[in-house]
Structure 1
């Protein structure tokens, strides 16, 4: 799950996701990470480890 308030849109989680399920979405002048098909997520937490602001967690 992505905490969109905390997410800075740096894209490190997108690059770390081996399944390529994360993408960056744009909302006005702000970017944030968004998970595509959450059922396909393997919960490896590589994205959470790459996030410098701890905006991702396994739920």
Structure 2
């Protein structure tokens, strides 16, 4: 069985714009507040099917 690719978020690079959250068809991403900043977070990694729709949605390329 092959493992599904999951998005990896570069937290320091993420601006917290929320475009990846909006692009995720399964709603597996959310924005988390850390201090005075927001960043994307994969909250349901087991449910994520690895479609990577979030990848092109990120304007700062914080998702790989």
Q: Once the 2 structures are TM-superposed, how far is the Cα of residue 5 of structure 1 from its aligned partner?
A: 0.8
What is the number of equivalent residue pairs in this alignment? 57
Q: Once the 2 structures are TM-superposed, how far is the Cα of residue 39 of structure 1 from its aligned partner?
A: 1.5
Q: Note if 1:23 corresponds to 2:30.
A: yes
Structure 1, unaligned runs of 5 or more: none
Structure 2, unaligned runs of 5 or more: 1-7
Secondary structure of 1:49 counterpart: helix
Alignment root-mean-square deviation, CA: 0.7
Structure with the largest fraction of helix: 1
